[in-house]
Amino acid sequence: MTTAFDWTGPIGDVWAEEWRRTDRSLAGLADPLDAAILAAATDAGTGVGPIVDIGCGAGTTSLAIAAALSERQVRGIDISPALIGIATERGQGLPNLSFVAGAAEEQVAAAAPVDLLISRHGVMFFPDPVAAFAALRRATAPSGRLVFSCFRAMALNSFATEPVIAAEGALPAVPSGYAPGPFAFADPVLVRDLLTEAGWSGIECTPVDFAYRVGEGSDPVADALGFLQRIGPAARALRAAPPGERTAMVERVTAVLEQRRSGDTVDFPAAAWLCSAHNMA
């Protein structure tokens, strides 16, 4: 379970330090996600009010949308002050773009009425997702939209399984029911049910496959190993390893990365949902 404390503290700090490599890992998702957001933003049924990016991280999606829609105000929200610091620095020069640190529900309410809520993998960490999405919906304008991406099943995202199996021999047990974390919204039925309960309608989830890049350059395996030792489930496994076992675990993970290497890159198959919904209340 990933908590708000994690994101405001150690996890958020590491993601801020590694924002270039984390953005690179999700770059293959950018085109379909941005296209879905722009389609929602320019649909004849939407207004011209603010667009709010939930869990904006280092600001990549906010930057892309603000640059494409210079007449619209775009605000990025993240609970990590460290990530907001990076995003703010990157967003200098775009007068229609701003960033703020804080809880999504509170900051979206402060920007209400919002025409479009967007997120790149930033909505899977609410402790009570129904309450959170209900609060977000109340802050949107009539006919407001929601567009976000999230990971599909862990089994379809081998960057999250193969290094862990190599390190530990097996995947950890998956808790039953909803638990905040990267794969919390893997089940589209769960997503539809909780969004419906929160008052959203017109819910659609479309599958997208992409390459999750963990390494590149003259020594992409070393780059990938450095990244996976800091970000993701393999990082947790390696940090928790007894000193006498860690070297062998790293060697096994390195062998997996070698198998995934193609020239100067190391990619893993990845799978996401692009989900959308309307506020028709």
How many whole angstroms separate alpha carbon 56 and alpha carbon 75?
Answer: 9
Average pLDDT over residues 49-53: 94
Please give the pLDDT value at position 176: 73
Average pLDDT over residues 50-76: 97
Residue 3 has pLDDT above 60, yes or no: no
Q: Which two tokens stand for residue 145?
A: 């939209």
Please give the pLDDT value at position 45: 59
Please give the pLDDT value at position 44: 55
Note the pLDDT tens digit of each residue in 116-165: 999 999 999 999 999 999 999 999 999 899 999 999 999 999 999 999 99
Q: What are phi and psi of 68, to 5 degrees?
A: -80, -30
Range with the poorest average pLDDT among 88-92, 133-137, 243-247: 243-247
User: Average pLDDT over the chain, rounded to whole?
Assistant: 93
The pTM score is 0.94
Closest CA to 187 of 200, 170, 174, 173: 174
How many whole angstroms separate alpha carbon 2 and alpha carbon 190?
Answer: 19
Higher pLDDT: 199 or 168? It is 199
Please give the pLDDT value at position 183: 94
Note the pLDDT tens digit of each residue in 138-149: 999 998 999 999
Domains of the chain: 4-154+176-214+271-278 (3.40.50.150)
Contact residues for 245 (Cβ-Cβ < 8 A; gap 6+):
none
Please give the pLDDT value at position 178: 84
Please give the pLDDT value at position 241: 82
DSSP per residue over the chain, as a string? ---HHHHHTHHHHHHHHTHHHHHHHTHHHHHHHHHHHHHHHTSTT--SS-EEEET-TTSHHHHHHHHH-TTS-EEEEES-HHHHHHHHHHTTT-TTEEEEES-HHHHHHHHPSEEEEEEES-SS--SSHHHHHHHHHHTEEEEEEEEEEEE--GGG-GGGTHHHHHHHSSPPPPPSS--SSTTTT--HHHHHHHHHHTT-EEEEEEEEEEEEEEEESSSHHHHHHHHHTTSSHHHHHHHHS-HHHHHHHHHHHHHHHHHHEETTEEEEEEEEEEEEEE---
Task: Write the Ramachandran bin of 39: left for phi over 0, alpha for psi from -120 to 50, otherwise beta.
Answer: alpha
